[in-house]
Amino acid sequence: MGKEKNIQTPWILSDFMLSKVPAELVAIGIVHPFSQQGALGYLNHTLDLILDRVGEGIEGRRGERVLIPTMNRWKAPWVLLYGLGDKEQLSKEVILEELCQLDSDLKAINMEPIAFLLPAYDPYHWGDPVEMAQLLLKGISRPGIIVNPNTEILHRIHYKVRRYFNYLLKEKGSSQ
């Protein structure tokens, strides 16, 4: 399994949607089989517009990386789709392993700031936003921005993940 990174703050829990976040790169974890509805079926319409130009080559297999220019359709100039593997075999361990590998890849890309969609979180079928935020913070060594796919999900994620962030800050403050 990949090596967990030290959790750093401050990560930012953003009110921005995917297409509006002020970042150099938006990183989105996808699963196999990938469809144009996006990772676990809930990404928004603007990603569909970007993928129309890319073609059918995206599968969502583990280790897959696809760097896509947004052509000014999003505020961020680049989107990075990273494969998490087969939906049936998705686990916290697999997600963390892929995030640790992604962390190494992001160092090579050297773009900042980077916005992240919570990996493999589907509010209707799979995952818990706090667990996915924990995995993201464990797997990625540099702070980033957590974004949301749409306003309905924003409110669900914000409350739970904000509480987790506040807890982390208190823990960090009391340990110093």
Q: What is the pLDDT of residues 159-172, one digit of tens each?
A: 677 777 777 766 65
Query: Could you tell me the residue ranges of all domains in the chain?
Result: 12-174
The pLDDT of 132-136, averaged and rounded, is 86
Query: Is domain 12-174 in CATH 3.40.718.10, yes or no?
Result: no
Q: Given pLDDT bands bounded at 50, 70 and 90, which one contains residue 51?
A: low
Q: Please write down the HEC assignment for all residues of 97-111.
A: HHHHHHHHHHHHHCC
| Tokens 């796919």, located at residue | 149
| Predicted TM-score (pTM) above 0.85 | no
* CA pair distance 123, 157, nearest whole angstrom: 9
pLDDT of residue 6: 47
Q: Kind of pairing, strands 12-17 and 145-148?
A: parallel
